[in-house]
């Protein structure tokens, strides 16, 4: 029984460490942002089902809360801004939104997810 408890605890610790290193896409938005709303309508429903969405789940952050988001390395000026993190720090970002095809293609290339999925 003691061995089973030790193994269970080891699995929980390893799973917790892996979860903290998970990639995440942060979308910085603000009220009244036309392109933010357009992204939510065009990409929002499908993003979680895409390869990049499974690799880097999205988290929405209002631009007024950027300072309290420790993963974001520098100031955000434009919305939407998409920032990929490794769970601890910003890796890269993309400012603006043009279209579904452009966004998904750019996020795959700029964020380098093709090689990690």
Q: Domain residues of the chain, as ranges?
A: 22-115
* Strand ranges across the sheet with 90-95: 58-62, 24-29, 81-85, 90-95
For 83, the 3-state DSSP assignment is: strand
Closest to 36 measured CA to CA, from 94, 105, 96, 100:
96
Closest to 82 measured CA to CA, from 32, 19, 35, 20:
35
C-beta of residue 52 within 8 angstroms of C-beta of residue 108: yes
- Specify the pTM: 0.75
User: What CATH superfamily classification does 22-115 receive?
Assistant: Glutaredoxin (3.40.30.10)
CA atoms within 13 A on the CB side of 33: 21
Going residue by residue through the chain, which has 117 residues, state the pLDDT in tens, using 9 for 90 and above: 555 454 444 444 444 444 445 899 999 999 999 999 999 999 999 999 998 898 889 999 999 999 889 999 999 999 999 999 988 899 889 999 989 888 888 888 866 644 444
Q: What is the pLDDT of residues 102-116, one digit of tens each?
A: 888 888 886 664 444
């Amino acid at each position: 029984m003691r061995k089973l408890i030790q193994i269970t605890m080891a699995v929980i610790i390893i799973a917790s460490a892996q979860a903290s290193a998970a990639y995440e896409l942060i979308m910085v938005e603000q009220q009244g942002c036309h392109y933010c709303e357009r992204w939510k309508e065009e990409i929002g429903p499908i993003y979680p089902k895409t390869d990049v969405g499974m690799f880097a789940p999205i988290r929405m952050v209002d631009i007024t809360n950027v300072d309290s988001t420790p993963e974001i390395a520098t100031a955000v000026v434009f919305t939407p801004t998409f920032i990929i993190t490794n769970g601890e720090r910003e890796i890269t970002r993309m400012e603006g939104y043009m279209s579904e095809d452009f966004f998904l293609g750019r996020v795959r290339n700029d964020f380098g997810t093709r090689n990690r999925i």
